[in-house]
Amino acid sequence: MRSAVDWLESLSPWPEEFGLERMQRLLADLGEPQRRFPSIHVVGTKGKSTATRTIAELLRAEGLHVGAYTSPHVSGWHERLDTDPATLVQALERVRAHAEGATQFEVLTAAALAEFAAQGVDAAVVEAGLGGRLDATNTIHGRVVHLTNVGLEHTDVLGDTREAIAGEKLAVATPEAIVVLGEGEWAHLVAANDVRLGGARETAEAFLGRRIEQEVDVRLPGRLEHRGEEVWDGAHTPDAAAWLVGQLERDDYVLCISILDDKDAEGILERLRGAGGVLVATESSNSRSLAAKELAARAEPYFEHVESIADPVAALGRARELAGPAGAVLVTGSLYLLADLSAGG
C-alpha cells in the first residue's frame, strides 16, 4: 500500500464539479468532527493564511488550545494543519478509508477537522480554499467569519465583479455568525449579521467576546524569506507584488517566477519590474500554472531580459547564474513554486 502522503499526492487537486456533497458525505462518515469545536472561518483574496495563523496565535496567547488550517504549503503538507509530518500521516490515515472520490483539498480539510476533533481543541481557525459558498471548508459554520479583502480572482468560478466574488466568499456566514470585514464596502451583503470592521485581532476578540491585550509575531513560510542574497516570497496578486517590491533592499534582482493562470499575471509582472530587469519564467507543478513560455511572453513588455525554463529547479539555477556572485535572486509569484523548489533542493 502506498504511503499516506503518496496517496494524497495521487488525488485530483481540482474537482470535476464544484459542490459540497462529497465533503458532507466524508464528514458524515467520520462522525461530523467539525461539530465538536467552535470555528472561525477566514475567507478573502489575499492575506488569508497570515490572518488565520495570527488569529490562532492570539487565541493561544489567551490560553486556548487552537487548531489552524491553511493552504497552500511551502515546506510540506503538514504545514497546512500547523503540525508535524507524523501527525499529518495520522490525520490522513484517519480519513483514508472513507475518502473514495474525494479531491486532494477535501481530504486535507477533512483530515484537519478530524484531527482537531481528536485533539479536543477549544477552537479551530480555518482558511477557505477557493471562494466560500462551494468550498470544502463551508461545512464548519463558523461562529465568526473574517473576510480579509476582495480582488478579481477565479472569475470563471466566482464571478466577474468584486461584488459577485465578495458574495461568494461571504456565503459561508450563517445568520448567527459575527462577520468581521477587512473592507467595509461589503457590509450590505451581510446586513442581517452582527458586522464589525477589522482584521485578525478584531476577529479573535469577536470570538472571545472581549479585548485582547497580547501581541503576537507570526511569520509564515514563503513570506519574505531571506536566504542569503535570495528573497523568497509567495506574492500572487498585484497588491502583494507591490508590497513585496516596497520591502526589498535593492532593485537589481534576477527574478525567478511562476504564476497560476487564474491570477492577474500582467498586474503582478508590472509591479514586479521595480525589483529588477531580468526575469526567468518557469512553471510550478500545479496544474493551473502558466506555461513558462507563455509567462515569458507576457513578461517581455516589463523586463529588459526574459528567459523561460519549464523546470523550476533549473530555472532557479539559471537565475543564480545570471545574477552572478555579486547579484541577488528573487523567487516569487506562487507559493506552489516555492514548495516545488523547497522539495527539489
Answer yes or no: is 100 within a domain: yes
Q: Degrees (nearest 5) of the Cα angle 117, 43, 272?
A: 125
- Give per-residue pLDDT as tens, 145-158: 999 999 876 656 67
Residues counted in the chain: 345
Asked whether residue 229 falls in the same domain as residue 198, the answer is no
Q: What total number of domains does the chain contain?
A: 2
Asked whether residue 190 falls in the same domain as residue 97, the answer is yes
Answer yes or no: is 217 within a domain: no
48 pLDDT higher than 90:
yes
- Give per-residue pLDDT as tens, 284-312: 998 889 999 999 999 999 999 999 999 99
pLDDT at res. 18: 83
Asked whether residue 192 falls in the same domain as residue 278, the answer is no
Q: State which residues form the domain around 338.
A: 225-344
pLDDT at res. 115: 98
Q: Give me the helices (H) in the chain, please.
A: 4-10, 21-29, 48-61, 85-96, 104-119, 155-158, 162-170, 200-208, 238-247, 265-272, 292-299, 312-323, 335-344
Question: Between the CA of residue 194 and those of 14, 40, 174, 226, what are the distances in Å?
Answer: 34, 14, 11, 41
pLDDT at res. 262: 83
- Give per-residue pLDDT as tens, 238-263: 988 998 999 998 999 999 999 998 88
Cell numbers representing residue 158 in the block: 466566482
Asked whether residue 64 falls in the same domain as residue 182, the answer is yes
- Give per-residue pLDDT as tens, 164-184: 999 999 999 999 999 999 999
295 CB-side CA count, 13 A: 30
Cell numbers representing residue 57 in the block: 496565535
Asked whether residue 119 falls in the same domain as residue 151, the answer is yes
pLDDT at res. 240: 87
Asked whether residue 26 falls in the same domain as residue 136, the answer is yes
Answer yes or no: is 213 within a domain: no
Asked whether residue 180 falls in the same domain as residue 69, the answer is yes
Answer yes or no: is 94 within a domain: yes
Closest CA to 257 of 279, 242, 289: 279
Answer yes or no: is 135 within a domain: yes
| CATH code where residue 313 lies | 3.90.190.20
Give the integer Cα–Cα distance in Å for 256 and 292.
11
pLDDT at res. 17: 81
Radius of gyration of the chain (CA): 20
Question: Between the CA of residue 8 and those of 29, 97, 115, 201, 284, what are the distances in Å?
Answer: 19, 12, 16, 34, 18
Give the integer Cα–Cα distance in Å for 204 and 209.
8
pLDDT band for 1, please (50, 70, 90 cuts): low
Asked whether residue 39 falls in the same domain as residue 120, the answer is yes
Asked whether residue 180 falls in the same domain as residue 63, the answer is yes
Quick count: other Cβ atoms within 10 Å of Cβ 203?
32
Question: Between the CA of residue 263 and those of 56, 110, 153, 235, 243, what are the distances in Å?
Answer: 28, 27, 6, 11, 17
Answer yes or no: is 65 within a domain: yes
Answer yes or no: is 215 within a domain: no
Give the integer Cα–Cα distance in Å for 105 and 45.
18
| CATH code where residue 35 lies | 3.40.1190.10
Answer yes or no: is 109 within a domain: yes
Asked whether residue 279 falls in the same domain as residue 157, the answer is no
Give the integer Cα–Cα distance in Å for 147 and 166.
9
Phi, psi of 94, deg, nearest 5: -65, -30
Domain boundary among 142, 174, 208: 208
Asked whether residue 177 falls in the same domain as residue 233, the answer is no
Asked whether residue 283 falls in the same domain as residue 332, the answer is yes
